[in-house]
Amino acid sequence: MAVTPRQSLAILLGWILLVAAVSLSGILTPPGAWYAALDKPPLTPPDWLFPVAWTTLYLMMAVAAWRVTVLAPPGRRRFFLWPFVAQLAANGAWSILFFGLHWMIVALVDLLLLWGLIVLTIRRFAWVSSTAAWLLVPYLAWVSFAAYLNAGTWWLNG
């Protein structure tokens, strides 16, 4: 059954809303004074870059999930989308673990899980849409860099 333009728009808006809901974990647990006082590894970007990068990445993620949702065979959508939803959960947990609870090592383990789930998502999405898969590559690169920052911060402040 083909997706109508109206259904397609509703699906896109649904993914944008879900991804935005996940982003709330970062908004509700900002870095604050604790993070500002930590020693950070070389190459740590300025604070202003994080919301710019994440807004862009979250939009790309929503578009990728939308493409897969509308292009995947209806009976196979769960197979293609479950890793995406799982990585959203790991993504949302990281800010709570790192900034909220100050559990740097647990947050690093979460990032490693997140990285694996993104790789799995990219592989699954590539079966349906190479565009959707490529939309997630900058996200994978950013999370890889975030793992370096998380590990370095933990190492310097352990």
What are the tens digits of pLDDT across the range 42-98?
A: 999 999 999 999 999 999 999 999 999 999 999 999 999 999 999 999 999 999 999
Spatial contact of 129 and 71, defined as CB atoms under 8 Å apart:
yes
> In this structure, is residue 149 part of a structural domain?
yes
Residue ranges making up the domain that contains 13 = 5-35+56-157
> In this structure, is residue 48 part of a structural domain?
no
The dihedrals phi and psi of 81, each to the nearest 5 degrees, come to -100, -20
Under the banding of pLDDT at 50, 70 and 90, the label for residue 3 is confident
> In this structure, is residue 42 part of a structural domain?
no
Number of domains in the chain: 1
> In this structure, is residue 65 part of a structural domain?
yes
What is the C-alpha separation between 116 and 112, in angstroms, rounded?
6
> In this structure, is residue 151 part of a structural domain?
yes
> In this structure, is residue 109 part of a structural domain?
yes
pLDDT digits (tens, 9 = 90+) for 107-152: 999 999 999 999 999 999 999 999 999 999 999 999 999 999 999 9
> In this structure, is residue 40 part of a structural domain?
no
Which sign, positive or negative, has the C-alpha torsion 155, 107, 54, 70?
positive
Spatial contact of 114 and 43, defined as CB atoms under 8 Å apart:
no
Under the banding of pLDDT at 50, 70 and 90, the label for residue 158 is confident
> In this structure, is residue 41 part of a structural domain?
no
